Amino acid sequence: MKIHEKYIKRCIELAKNGLGTTYPNPLVGSVIVYKDKIIGEGWHKKSGEPHAEVNAVNSVKDKSLLNKATIYVSLEPCSHFGKTPPCCDLIIKNKIPNVVIGTVDPNIKVAGNGIKKLIEAGIHVTVGILEEECHELNKRFFTFHEKKRPYIILKWAESQDGFIAPNEKLEKKPVWITNTYSRQLVHKWRTEEQAILVGTQTVIDDNPKLDARDWYGNNPIRVVLDQNNRIPKDNHILDNQVKTILFSRFEMAVEKENSIFETIDFEKNVAQQVIQSLYKHNIQSVIIEGGRQTIQTFIDANLWDEARIFIGKVQFKNGIKAPNLVNKQFEKHLIGADELIISRNHD
Ligand code: AOF
Ligand code: ZN
């Protein structure tokens, strides 16, 4: 493998350690190399905390090597004062002569200004190494800045014969389609996204916590479409434990600290209005977990990026048909006895 690619690959690996904890910031990794040896490494852990480059520079024991070294970063070094000072200034101050960048930062506060600043300081800059992989690493951050909306993941489980639920739910209890491994994977996924969205019927039927109790990490912001304010006040969703955004037709009188009520017009494009509002709330990604009608609303509005579909071993013979996605042949995995299909929307 070519030298630059080898080290940007390492940057990507490091960056992934921040998955789920850097919002609204991107995942960034950095390595510092001298004579083909890594002398420093770092990644961005949390918004408000040091950027990847700062952690990498701080980890170098012999700082006298910096003025002969190359710094690799998966995303363009920032040029602005945000919650932290510009990484470009740090690179210039330490007289690092070479900078190798995976991809340009889409944030308008940076967007090429970092590269410009480094070049103007006489630094040798290389841009576009493993660009596609670096873009994929920050698919949520890029979608948010370029499309002005969160990255949208659809998730559901269906039976062998294509139903997401049998006709009559026994004792109104949730009917499991997937195995325990798949259920744990879903909790891992919940720690990776900034928000989770469901419809009212799911909330009323299952009274779900929508948290990530089976995995270590952050719980996502909860988002519910509750057109007619039907959710009972003692439901988990209204427990005020996690920030929760509720979309309904009418203003709600009660405002709790962690419950935010938004009104939208349910006669118009619901998916579009919800996504616009989530963008205004600075939400970079959302996983939509049901029910059928809610998921289909986003498919019909062509507002989705990825669909993750579990196909369990059970047969229901009849019931509620699974959402209808035209192309679901993309990637297939086995999670225990369940099949998982991951489909991407290339529109
Ligand atoms: C970098 N390295 O590791 C990250 C960058 O508020 P701040 O100071 O944390 O700045 C956030 C912005 O900085 C973020 O929107 C993105 O454009 C860039 N993130 N840049 O050089 C990093 N996390
Ligand atoms: Zn920075």
Q: How confident is the model at residue 205 (pLDDT cuts 50, 70, 90)?
A: confident
Question: In angstroms, what is the span from residue 323 Cα to ligand 1's centroid?
Answer: 38
Judged by DSSP in three states, 256 sits in: strand
Ligand 1 site-directed mutation target among 12, 22, 51, most atoms within 8 Å of CB: 51
Quote the longest CA-to-CA distance of the chain.
71
What is the Cα–Cα distance from 186 to 209, expressed in whole angstroms? 13
What is the Cα–Cα distance from 130 to 139, expressed in whole angstroms? 14
Q: Is 246 annotated as a binding residue?
A: no
| Ligand 1 atom closest to Cα of residue 109 | 17
CA distances from 255 to 51, 147, 199, 244, 259 (A): 36, 31, 20, 11, 6
Instruction: Yes or no: say if 153 and 308 are a contact pair by the CB < 8 Å rule.
Output: yes
Q: What strand order describes the sheet that includes 151-158?
A: 259-263, 244-248, 221-225, 195-199, 285-288, 151-158, 306-311, 338-344, 331-335
List beta partners, residue 40. 32
Question: Over the chain, what is the mean pLDDT?
Answer: 93
**pLDDT tens-place string over residues 294-347:** 999 999 999 999 999 999 999 999 899 999 887 777 899 999 999 999 999 987
Three-state SS sequence of 78-105: CCCCCCCCCHHHHHHHCCCCEEEEEECC
Fold observed for domain 1-141: Cytidine Deaminase; domain 2 (3.40.140)
What is the Cα–Cα distance from 151 to 287, expressed in whole angstroms? 8
Question: In angstroms, what is the span from residue 240 Cα to ligand 1's centroid?
Answer: 30
Say what the alpha-carbon torsion angle 203, 207, 211, 215 is, to the nearest 10 degrees: -130
What is the Cα–Cα distance from 339 to 164, expressed in whole angstroms? 14
Nearest by Cα to 225 from 283, 172, 281, 264: 264
Of the listed ligands, the closest to the CA of 26 is 1
Ligand 1 site-directed mutation target among 16, 19, 25, most atoms within 8 Å of CB: 25
Q: Is 289 annotated as a binding residue?
A: yes
Q: Is 134 annotated as a binding residue?
A: no
List beta partners, residue 72. 31, 100
Question: Is the per-residue pLDDT at 254 higher than 70?
Answer: no
**pLDDT tens-place string over residues 161-200:** 999 988 865 556 667 899 999 999 999 999 999 999 999 9
Q: Enter the DSSP assignment of 18.
A: G
Where do the structural domains in the chain lie, given as residue ranges? Answer: 1-141, 149-344
| Residue that the structure tokens 């989530």 belong to | 278
Mean pLDDT computed over 262-272: 95
The predicted pLDDT at position 55 comes to 98
The residues that are catalytic are 53
Nearest by Cα to 199 from 278, 299, 290, 303: 290
The predicted pLDDT at position 288 comes to 98
List beta partners, residue 32. 40, 71
**pLDDT tens-place string over residues 93-150:** 999 999 999 999 999 999 999 999 999 999 999 999 999 999 999 999 999 999 999 9
The values of phi and psi at residue 156, to 5°, are -150, 170
CA distances from 117 to 33, 56, 74, 114 (A): 21, 20, 17, 5
Q: Is 78 annotated as a binding residue?
A: yes
Q: Enter the DSSP assignment of 53.
A: H
What is the Cα–Cα distance from 75 to 72, expressed in whole angstroms? 9
What is the Cα–Cα distance from 160 to 164, expressed in whole angstroms? 10
Ligand 1 site-directed mutation target among 43, 55, 78, most atoms within 8 Å of CB: 78
Question: In angstroms, what is the span from residue 120 Cα to ligand 2's centroid?
Answer: 18
Q: What is the pTM of this model?
A: 0.94
Tell whether ligand 1 has an atom less than 6 A from the beta carbon of residue 84.
Answer: yes
Least confident of 39-43, 137-141, 154-158, 255-259: 255-259
Mean pLDDT computed over 203-220: 90
Question: Amino acid letter at 107?
Answer: N
What is the Cα–Cα distance from 282 to 271, expressed in whole angstroms? 17
Instruction: Yes or no: say if 342 and 330 are a contact pair by the CB < 8 Å rule.
Output: yes
Question: Interface pTM (ipTM) of the complex?
Answer: 0.92
Tell whether ligand 1 has an atom less than 6 A from the beta carbon of residue 77.
Answer: yes
What is the Cα–Cα distance from 337 to 182, expressed in whole angstroms? 9
Tell whether ligand 1 has an atom less than 6 A from the beta carbon of residue 87.
Answer: yes
CATH class of residue range 149-344: alpha beta
